[in-house]
């Protein structure tokens, strides 16, 4: 069984050209099969403003009406995705830029309206790992933008963390998978303002203790919930690390490693 590294890069790194360059250089050094899933950063908000389209956020999540869906599709699936692909080609990584709609790789359904109507936002139903394996067998590195599709033929804006987890989980039937979440922090921190306070290893029991104590809170909780679900579903390990350290994290260890 081959090893596969599935890596998600956060929007804050996308927004910083120098940080993105450092990350992609480190990503290019990772040996073996790999997949990159990226967020969109602030570019979609900036483009929407230029087009006179208002951005609405609720609890940090974007409300995706039809005009905003058009923008995020253009920005995430077009501009940002192809910029990353071009930069990887320059680093001798033979990358192919994709959304979940391409090749029918990631099927979703529109999120049902409960307390909040998020609009054209997708909850993932199915990943076609056979199609993704085809790209990997061609020695291609898939680079996914967080856009999926529905059975009705609609495009849907989808959380990139969730997309990375879903792709990693579905590929465990063919590979020994490591899932890596990269962002601007050095890992899961005991003190959000102190980069030296990295929690080197987390198990479900330790995670519960840190949540109870309030050490881990807010936006880190959904990311870690996704990560532990991936472990329960067959992913070998999950790493959360600084984008600059992705190569070291995969080969030697850095950041926070999650284990069962």
Enclosing H/E stretch for 4: strand 2-9
- Is the distance from CB of 3 to CB of 31 less than 8 angstroms? no
- Is the distance from CB of 10 to CB of 243 less than 8 angstroms? yes
Assigned token pair, 145: 């933008």
State how far the Cα of 151 lies from the Cα of 154, in Å rounded to an integer. Answer: 7
24: phi then psi, degrees, rounded to nearest 5: -65, -35
62 is in an annotated binding site: yes
**Angle 14-233-237 from CA coordinates, rounded to 5°:** 55
259 is in an annotated binding site: no
Enclosing H/E stretch for 66: helix 66-72
109 is in an annotated binding site: no
* SS3 assignment, position 54: coil
40 is in an annotated binding site: yes
Rg from Cα positions in the chain: 17
- Is the distance from CB of 163 to CB of 181 less than 8 angstroms? no
User: Per the annotation, where are the binding residues for substrate?
Assistant: 40-41, 62, 157
User: Per the annotation, where are the binding residues?
Assistant: 40-41, 62, 157
């Amino acid at each position: 069984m081959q090893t596969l590294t599935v890596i998600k890069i956060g929007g804050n790194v996308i927004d910083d050209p120098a940080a993105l360059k450092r990350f992609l250089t480190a990503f290019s050094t990772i040996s073996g099969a790999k997949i990159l899933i990226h967020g969109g950063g602030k570019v979609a908000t900036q483009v929407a403003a230029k087009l006179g389209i208002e951005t609405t956020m609720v609890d940090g999540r974007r409300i995706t009406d039809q005009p905003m869906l058009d923008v995020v599709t253009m920005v995430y699936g077009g501009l940002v995705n192809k910029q990353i692909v071009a930069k990887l080609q320059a680093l001798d990584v033979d990358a192919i830029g994709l959304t979940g709609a391409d090749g029918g790789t990631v099927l979703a359904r529109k999120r049902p309206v409960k307390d909040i109507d998020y609009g054209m936002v997708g909850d993932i139903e199915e990943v076609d790992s056979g199609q993704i394996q085809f790209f990997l067998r061609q020695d291609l590195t898939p680079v996914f933008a967080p856009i999926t599709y529905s059975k009705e033929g609609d495009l849907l804006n989808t959380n990139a963390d969730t997309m990375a987890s879903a792709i990693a989980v579905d590929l465990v039937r063919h590979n020994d998978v490591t899932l890596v979440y990269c962002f601007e922090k050095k890992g899961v921190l005991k003190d959000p303002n102190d980069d030296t306070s990295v929690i080197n290893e987390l198990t479900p029991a330790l995670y519960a203790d840190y949540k109870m104590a309030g050490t881990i809170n807010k936006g880190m909780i959904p990311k870690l919930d996704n990560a532990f679900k991936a472990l329960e579903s067959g992913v070998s390990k999950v790493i959360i690390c600084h984008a600059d350290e992705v190569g070291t994290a995969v080969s030697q260890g850095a950041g926070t490693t999650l284990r069962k």
